[in-house]
Amino acid sequence: MSARLSEALRRLADDVPPARVPDGLFDAARTRHRRRRAAAAGALAVLVLFLGTGYALHPVALPSPAAPHVDAPGLPTRLVDPPLRTASVRDSAPGAAAMLFGGPAVRTDWFETRMGVLAAEADRYRVLDAGAFTPGFDALLSPDGRYAWVGASLLDLTSGRFTPDRTDGYPLAFASDGERLVYADDDAAFTPPNTYTTPYVGVYDRESGKDVLRVRVGTAWIPPGRTAALSPDSGELALQVRDEIWLTRVADAGADGVADPYRKLPLHGGRLGGPGSWLPDGRAVGVLDRSTCADCPVPAYRRTWTLSVRSTVDAAPRAGAAFPPLRSRTFVQLLGWRSADEAVALVGVPGPDAVDRPEDHDIAWSPYHEPGTDRVELVVLRRGAPAPEVLFRTPEGITDLTVAADLAIDGAVRESGRPDYGPLPFWLLAVGFVVALVVGLPVLSLLRRWHGRRLHRRAARRRSGELP
């Protein structure tokens, strides 16, 4: 029985047609396996690339790089416009700065509030985008160049970080040692038809972390940048309020820090010179008088400034030879004094097409940036000299400037070298990464397809006997 069953099953098996394996089955399976491994490896590579690039692009403030071999910090002999690839101060701190600058040559359509920073030790350029502020007016550099006071923020340029030692208003002046800051309360009230009222002007002491003086202004508005100055010992404040200079002692402040001026000097149409108005002896201030000239270098811009020294006792002019006039200049800002006969100042130079417009408003009011300015000069004004000595001149289009007063007063100048723009900024690296992904992924896909077709053709040739 079992023999017959086995024989029957054998005959049935012989009658079953043999199974046919499709041509290239094993080659196709091997190709699919390779493609899956390649896809997994590509996904892992993209994940590692994302994580690694994200970590690398994470913004971290770098310390100030070591300075190259230079004799000493100083003002440069040449200033250039930093390109778009220039690193940010917050990502790569430049160290103590020689100057903070801005203007049409520095701003772009994408970076309308951009300003440049140049280190004092070498040509390290960095950029700062901290809002719509103008260097030299509502963005000031401390006398030693370490701090940039921009709006209500104080930025330490050696670390790239904002410091807690800041005031609640907009900047007016640094003390000569940088430890005290004069500011105006920015909670101004609008008075129709077109004036504002500054509640008070304060003197903030960084060591104690509080105001050591407050002066109530009344119904006047105090514009930023050049209407206040602290005496060399930081003990007295000179503040321009309309057509007067108010003198107030820090020692007179009460328990609330408020003090009244002990003297008011009439200006008779003049202006306080700026943050460096006090003379070294602390008993006189520099005042700028405005007039017009018939033979100005720019015929359409006839504004002329003349520096005079007035006693803080009775406002009487001090005797001595006259300072050279500054003809066809848009603004003048005193930085300090080398002696009673030599003052250092920043002056605005108008362009060839600038037109001077008479001021028909309050004498203490002025725009943050004077219209028509084409460039800025750093000059020395000496009694009895026929003309000012020009120490530095910005390129055309750099119209706003604030410098480290210590370097300017000392006359420290260094030879400019090759500009260092720092590491690539985060936004540029991010754009490059996105472009690389957009271009790289399609290229990788095409390469994979080409490789797959090449393997398929090779397998077909092997089956046909063309290849061993």
pLDDT digits (tens, 9 = 90+) for 297-352: 888 788 899 999 999 988 888 988 999 999 989 889 999 999 999 999 999 999 88
Q: How many domains does the chain have?
A: 1
404 is a domain residue: yes
334 is a domain residue: yes
Residue 366, sorted as left (phi over 0), alpha (psi -120 to 50) or beta, turns out to be beta
275 is a domain residue: yes
- Output the CA torsion 145→149→153→157 (10° steps): -20
What integer is the mean pLDDT of 364-369? 44
314 is a domain residue: yes
402 is a domain residue: yes
324 is a domain residue: yes
pLDDT of 408 reads: 95
375 is a domain residue: yes
Domain membership of residue 323 as a residue range: 269-413
What integer is the mean pLDDT of 228-246? 95
22 is a domain residue: no
Q: What percent of the chain has pLDDT over 70?
A: 74
Which residue has better confidence, 207 or 264? 264
Evaluate whether 72 touches 414 at the Cβ level (below 8 Å): yes
Please check the confidence at residue 368 and state whether its pLDDT lies above 90.
no
Position 363 confidence tier, pLDDT thresholds 50, 70, 90: very low
pLDDT of 467 reads: 56
Evaluate whether 426 touches 91 at the Cβ level (below 8 Å): yes
Tens of pLDDT, residues 134-189: 898 889 999 999 999 988 889 999 998 888 766 678 899 999 999 999 999 988 77
**Can you give the pTM of this predicted structure?**
0.76
Position 250 confidence tier, pLDDT thresholds 50, 70, 90: very high
